[in-house]
Structures are given as C-alpha cells and as structure tokens.
Structure 1
C-alpha cells in the first residue's frame, strides 16, 4: 500500500524532534541539494510580525485574486490539514504533489540534522518553483532574522505587522529584542510596509532599516487609516482612497486591511481590485461565527458560537475591545499551549467574561491541562472551571445560564483547528 503525506509528515516529526534552534545553515544546505528552488520563485511579499500576519496575507491574496492574478501562499500553522500551508494559485497543494515533494526533500536531506519547519519550507519552495504564479505571499514562521523563510535574498516587498510579546523563549525577553528579530527580514532597497508599532519596537525597526538601506512606509507617517461609517479612508502618500469595510470581523481588521492595501498599491493593483478583495476575503478562526456542526446544532435559540485562534496579550486586548460592543453576555471555552503566557491573554478579557470553561487541546502534548488552564483564568479574576472536552464545556455553560450568551472558543490556533475539523 502506498504511503500518504500524513505518514511522511509524521515520520519527519519523529526523525527530527529537535527543539527549535533558529538557523539558516540547515535549510541553505538542503536548498542547495535541491538546486536552489528559492531562487526560482515568483515575486515574493515577505510578511513578519506577531499579530495579523495571516489576516494581512488573506486580505492581500483576495485583492490580487480580484485583479485576476495567480497567487501562491505559504502560511503556518495549518488549522485542519497540513496542505493548507502551501497554496498553489489559490488551492491547497494536492495530496499527490505534497507526497512527492516531501519524499524528494527527505531523500535530499538524508540523515542530516534539520527541523520539521525547515524541511517542509523547502518542500513549499520546491512546489512554488515548479508552478507558475504572479506573486508568492510568504509568511514568516517564527521571528524573522533566522527563520527558514528568510533565505529569500531579494523579495519584491516586505511587511511587519504589529510586534508584541510572544515566543520569548526563542526571540528574546524584551519588545526591542523581539522587534530586532522581526526586522531581520528587511533587505537593502526593498520597500517595507510597517503597521503601527509600540514606540520601542518602532525605534528598533527604523534603526535596522537605516542600517540595511530599506525604505519604510509606516502607519501614521507615510500612510494612514481613518475609520468611517461605510468603511475607511486610506491616505497613502499624497493619494487618498475610499475603501469598504473588510469582510473580516473586528476593528483591528481595518488596520490589517490598510496595510494590505498599501502593499497592493505597491504591486500595482487598482482601487477596484483592492475594494473587491476587501469585500470577498475569508480567513477562518479569526472571530469566526460558527453556523454549522454538532456544537451549533445543540445551541438553544438565541445562543451563538464563535471561534478565535489568538493566543497572546495583543489578541486578548483585541477580543476585549470587540466584546465591549456586544450586548449579550460573553462566556469562554478556552485552551492554550503551555508555551504561551496564559495570563497575558486572559487578563484583558477579565472584565468582559461572565464565565469560563477550560479544556485541554486534544492531541497536543504541549497543551495546558484543563485544570491548569482554569487556574490561570481564576488567577486573572475570571469565574472558571475545567471541563472534560468541548461538548461538556458548552453544555455546562448553557445549563447554568440565566439568559442566552455568546460562547467564544479561544486561546489557540491548534484548538481552533480541532474545532473546525470536528464542528466547523
């Protein structure tokens, strides 16, 4: 019986279980053995940052596709299947293609040390080099400076979304240290579109840009987003565009939409394509209203089920800002990896949440236990208890409620992926 890509991916995980060790040496070696597919790619837009990378890429992809362009996309992690990480002209890489790519990379690497992300990034570059497209949207996996995607010597554009505290065990314990890692994607004479940053992060990015000679287009300086009732006004240099609200929910998505629109303009897109992309964009697990599946079917009249994969302080602040505008009570079902700062995510939400049920993320060795997750929530002043699984968590919240509520499943993209696989 022939093997599947899932079997190869699992074998790669087992063969290379090394702790993340950021370096470009291993992937450079493998790419050389593969004939340097990273040098045969369509024009690349390279995106780093802490929050919003996926949303900016989804928005820009929608704009480019509205203009009739073929767009390759590389993102991580996936929600349901690994194939989502590698999109060829808009579609997830086919199973037969992915299996062949993984086997080629595995054979080329041999017994050499390499991480899972590095070898799968090499497979993605091989896929992108073999299939024609107009643009490749490339998301940084972790950090920037030493991320496997940073072998691209001369992208068409770079972008840095808002930088905040995350992955401190790999990127540094302070915001300036983390910002310096993100700014590692800046390249000489390659324009970088920068989201609004905290002052200490902005200073580091500006200093790095001056050092390498990268022109910056910064939010609130070279470009500006002004919210309006029917959308937003984008000031880009001397020009102004009136654009519609993006189809993604949340006030923060206006910021992502503005950054994507500035990138789109640098790629030569007309305002009509930018507006069409804003209206058509889809990006699961980002304040997504769930409308199908057994969890939704079990909800009494008036209840709603929502899903968000955010997991750091900035994500908690964003969700709290949205919740402030909701009239119905907010209950949380929450699970988180033990590599994340649970209190930083939960603290901003404390004043908005009526009750919380904590769950372990199914199948994730690094998940907090339900009891640990609940303890973090109680320490932040949230009425919380552990639950055995998602179904039990939702049922308990409904059983003890005096009136209908909005239930938000949150805390991890890995948890969001499980929800979408089983209840989407």
Structure 2
C-alpha cells in the first residue's frame, strides 16, 4: 500500500465539510441535531471505543460564548507547570493555519505524521465497520465531529494524562459532550451577541451551555447576566453536579502580566485557575495542593504568565518586513471587537509608534452585521483615546489611514491551502465581493470624511498583503490590525509568512 500523506488526509477531511446551502437550511430549523450524542457514540463504537473509555482522558470540559479557547490555553499552561512530567492534551477549534493545530500535546500541535496516522486509522475503521444502529446516521461524521473522533483516538493512543476539551457549538448536544464523567466542567462568558445570530434567548443559550455539567462533577461558571446565570445554575442542580461555583475574582491576578493580552483575559484566567485547582485536587487525592488565595501557587503564576494563544490580541513583527507590525485578533462579535479595540488602542500597541501608517484589514462572515461591527470598532477607539487623554483629531478621521475589506480566500489565483479550504461560504456572494463592498459602503457612511481612495475592496488575502507591502516605505512603517474573523487572521498568517513568529 502506498504511503498516505498529510495532504491526502486533509483532502479527505474537506469532503466532510457542510456546504453553505446545507448550513443555511440547518439554521432555518434551529441548527440542532437531537441525535448528535447518539451518533457520536455510534461512531465511537465503530472505531473501537465506548464512551466510558473517554473517562481515561481526565477531561476538563469548557464551553461558553466568549473566551473558551483562551480559558483552555490558560488551563493547559497551568497544568504543564503544575505537572511537568505529564502529557497534557488540548482539543480546540477552529485552527488558524493547519488543521493539526486543533489537536495539541503540551501546547504543541501533533505532527503531520501523527495526524495522518490517526486520521487514517479512524477513516479505515469506519470504512471497515459500516454497520449502523440507526439507518439515518451518515456513513461518516461531518468535519468537526470527525476531528473530534481523531482527537479522542490520538489522545487515547498517546495515553495523555489530562485533556482540556473545548466545546465546538453549544454544549448539551455538542459531540464533545459524549464524555460521561469529566473531572471538572466550566462555562465562560455568555454574551448577547449570539442571541441574534442563533435566534435564541440568552436563557436558551445558557441552557445548552450548562448541558456539559455532569453528575458528581464540580461545575463552574464565570459571572453571567442574571437570566443566563439562573439557567446555568438550574442545569448544575438538575444534572446533579457535585458543586456549582460562580468564580470570584482573584486579587492576586492584578499584579500578574498574563501571557494573553487584553483586560478581558482576567476573567478567562480566573476560570482556568479554579478549573485547574479543582482538577488537581481531584486527581491528586493523596497530595496537598496549596490554596489559590490569598496568593496563587507559583506553578499557577508561571502557567498564567507563559500561556500562549495565537491570533488573539497578538502583536508581532513581520520577520521578513521589519517595518510592518501585525496586530492580530480573531474577534467576530460586537463584544469581542470591543475587547479587541480596547487592547489595540494602548500605549504598548497602537500608540507605541505614532509615525506608522495605520491599516485595518477586516472581513466578517455568516451573515453578521458589518456596519454594526465597524461602528463598534470606531466607537471603542474613540472612547479609548478619550480615556487615555489623547487628542483624537490629531490622529485623523477614522483613526486608520487605509482600510481593506477582503475575502478569506488565501491566494490571488482563488486557491486556499488545503487546511484553509472552506465550503461554508456563499460562493455567489464571494464571486461578487458582496460582503466586502457592503463593508466598504458601511465604512464610507460611518466616516464620510474618509479618503475614498483609501477604502480598498480586494478579492484575496494575498492581494491584501501585497497592498500592505506597497504602503510601507523607510519613512512610513505600517501597523496593521487584522480582525473580524479567525479565518481571516489565519489566512494572513499563511499569506504573509508569519507562522514562525505567530504560531
């Protein structure tokens, strides 16, 4: 048999993506598959596992609307410091540049060889065992569910000592919720942003998120809006969690420089501390763990300071173009864009080089309201400048010197790296650059004095990076904010050759 390659694995994986029409149809009926857990259990059986096997992974299960990836990154870093001889698995989504970023051990993505091995072992087992308990179950799971199976298989094969498991969508019916008894569970911030997008009330969203709570397992949540907190707490009670804790603030965090930038990360770091403390108390029954108040244990401190999470409030120098600074944040809701702009307008970020040409690269997807998003960015920039006692007029109208609205297509020839291939976009809209023109019109409306020649609509990320290179001269370095979409941030990292410094 010919040797199988990573590229072949990615090609097969991409056949499991839903297309735009399928996703739109699912959204119209609420987007919930009531058989999701039953199907996941069926797929597990077909590749040789039972749900109880997953308990060996020692899972910290995390869901939420905002901050769940960052919380997982903090938790992983803390456990690496607290248990340096352990192998710590981390499963998250989406990825920025390479699919294998979703499956990490000790913070490092599994290798292409490992991914290929585990991918095809799952593929072959599904092919060899096509007997299905329910005739409506597809022969193979769709993209995210398939990768979840690969992650479970990889972590069990590698015998990881602990697993940080991030929910994909929701919680109750998410395929990651197939783990019968995690060690500890946590819910990050639940935001109003997703109410309109999902067509659900905040109470309904909280009910889904709280669905990861399990009998006899400690349940945590960050402080939530009243109706969300009531629903999450009820889930903890109804699902017989061993305890329910709304994470109090930790004064000790105020003196730390967290590895992830932005003041919103304090809440995520706080949840990670409580999750890890409860986790270690559970798995180290014979060991005495120091308390987390009034001072954090030193291994927790190091974990929080060393945490890394690419593409979120990340400032990097271009390794090939020293005059370009990239400010990357995959924020894609009004609330997260507020956090992004608060981080960006800061003496250590945007205000560090006042001579730079300021460029915004922006895109948004899935029917989100571009004008609302751009308005939020501008309003937050204005309020931050006022807070910092900066003269806004001295920085020019609209803050930025150029704004670029581009698609998430990576290359100028219309191609994307296999890992970045996306079937879920409306191709008619993409061909006509409909979203990008709408964003340009929205910007012109919001900032009528802005130079129209400096509002750019471009068909690919490669075109965008090339324009940034043109804007740079020895006398005018460029500072580029990329936001609105994690897919866009990943594409910029790929097209601009930033992987070695960003990932």
Bin of the TM-score, shorter chain as denominator length: 0.7 to 0.9
For 1:363-413, what per-residue CA distance to the aligned partner results, in whole angstroms no more than 9, with x for missing partners?
A: 4552863323323444555857233232255357668xx987742111111
Evaluate the alpha carbon distance shift between residue 132 and residue 15 of structure 1 in structure 2; reply closer, same or farther with a 3 A threshold.
closer
Distance in 2 (alpha carbons) for counterparts of 1:381 and 1:31? 53
Higher mean displacement: 96-105 or 139-148:
96-105
Instruction: Label 1:404 to 1:119 Cα distance change in 2 as closer, same or farther (>3 A).
Output: closer
Deviation at 1:169, TM superposition (A): 8.7
Q: Does 1:28 align with 2:73?
A: no
Q: Which residue of 2 aligns with 1:101?
A: 118
Q: How does 1:21-420 map to 2 (within 5 A)?
A: 22=33, 23-36=36-49, 38-40=51-53, 41-67=56-82, 68=84, 69-110=86-127, 112-165=139-192, 171-214=198-241, 215-219=243-247, 223-226=248-251, 232=253, 244-268=256-280, 270=290, 271-294=297-320, 296-299=321-324, 304-326=325-347, 328=351, 331-351=359-379, 352=381, 353-355=398-400, 356-362=403-409, 363=416, 364=422, 366=425, 369=433, 370-378=436-444, 381=447, 383=450, 385-388=455-458, 389-394=463-468, 406-420=479-493
In the superposition, the TM-score normalised over structure 1's length comes to: 0.85
Which structure's CA Rg is the greater one?
A: 2
| Higher strand content, 1 or 2 | 1
Q: Secondary structure at the match of 1:232?
A: helix
1:248 CA drift (Å) = 1.4
**Cα distance in 2 between the residues matched to 1:314 and 1:170:** 13
Please list the CA deviations of residues 200-237 of structure 1 after superposition, one character each: whole Å capped at 9, or x if unmatched: 22121112222222222113xxx2234xxxx625xxxx
Post-superposition Cα deviations, 1:259-316, rounded to whole Å, max 9, x if no partner, equal 111112112365111001112111111111121344x4353xxxx4211111112211
Does the 8 Å contact 2:193/2:335 carry over to 1?
no
Give the whole-Å Cα distance in 1 for the aligned partners of 2:307 and 2:440. Answer: 35
CA deviations 1:80-139 (Å, max 9, x no partner) are 111111113443223233222222222333361521111121111111111122210000
| CA distance, structure 2, for counterparts of residue 113 and residue 77 of structure 1 | 20
Alpha-carbon distance in 1 for matches of 2:16, 2:64: 30
The Cα offsets for residues 155-208 of structure 1, whole Å up to 9 and x where unpaired, read as 101111111256669854322222222111111221122112222221211122
Distance 1:115 1:376 in 2: 36
* Distance in 2 separating the partners of 1:350 and 1:185: 37
Q: Distance in 2 between matches of 1:118 and 1:107?
A: 16
- If the length of structure 2 is used for normalisation, what is the TM-score? 0.72
Any gaps of 5 or more consecutive residues in structure 2? Answer: 24-31, 131-138, 281-288, 291-296, 382-397, 410-415, 417-421, 499-503
**What RMSD over aligned residues (CA atoms) do the two structures have, in Å?**
2.8
Alpha carbons of structure 1 residues 405 and 173: separation in structure 2 relative to 1, 3 Å: farther
* Contact 1:63 1:277 survives alignment (8 Å): yes
Greater fraction helix: 2
Query: Secondary structure of the equivalent of 1:203?
Result: helix
Structure with more relative contact order (C-alpha pairs < 8 Å, separation 6 or more) = 2
Mark the CA change 1:341 to 1:310 in structure 2 (over 3 Å): closer, same or farther.
Answer: same
Instruction: Label 1:207 to 1:347 Cα distance change in 2 as closer, same or farther (>3 A).
Output: farther
Q: C-alpha distance in 1, partners of 2:172/2:319?
A: 41
Give me the whole-angstrom Cα distance separating, in 2, the residues matched to 1:323 and 1:276: 25
Q: Using the alignment, how far apart are the partners of 2:367 and 2:5 within structure 1?
A: 30
Using the alignment, how far apart are the partners of 2:41 and 2:372 within structure 1? Answer: 36
